[in-house]
Amino acid sequence: MNYDEPQLKAAFERFDKLLRELKDEDLRNVIPFKNFIRNFLRVKTNYLDLPTPEIMAVLKHEKPNIYLYLRKNFSQEPIFDFLTHLDVDYEAARKKLDELKESIK
């Protein structure tokens, strides 16, 4: 089934670009990911729930240094404290995100 979710599609494209282009070793790259997460939480969807836990699981697995920096240095912000303590299986998260990407136009 194809869902009309333009904001979610754009967010997925942005996330994939960040994962591809920004190095995990350079902690200056934390800010673009932090900004992405803040903006992602504001995405309006028509039919689907935001896959926030899955996004965080992929970030944790694919950019562990950035994830840990977010967890340690932004834990005073309740939303980042909550999001960086979610426990979701990476393989299941990646599969769900891939399926969602295929189902939106």
Domain positions in the chain are 6-103
Torsion of CA 64, 34, 81, 95, to 10 degrees: -60
- Three-state DSSP state, 104: strand
Q: What is the pLDDT of residue 105?
A: 81
Q: What is the pLDDT of residue 1?
A: 76
Does an H or E element contain 39, and which?
helix 30-40
Global confidence as pTM: 0.94
Q: What is the mean pLDDT of residues 74-78?
A: 94
DSSP 50: -
Q: What is the mean pLDDT of residues 91-101?
A: 98
Q: Which residue type sits at 30?
A: V
- In three-state form (DSSP H/G/I as H, E/B as E, the rest C), the secondary structure along 59-90 is HHHHCHHHHHHHHHHCCCCHHHHHHCCCCCCH
Q: What is the mean pLDDT of residues 48-71?
A: 97
- Integer Cα distance of 53 and 23 in angstroms: 22
**10 Å Cβ neighbour count for 42?**
9
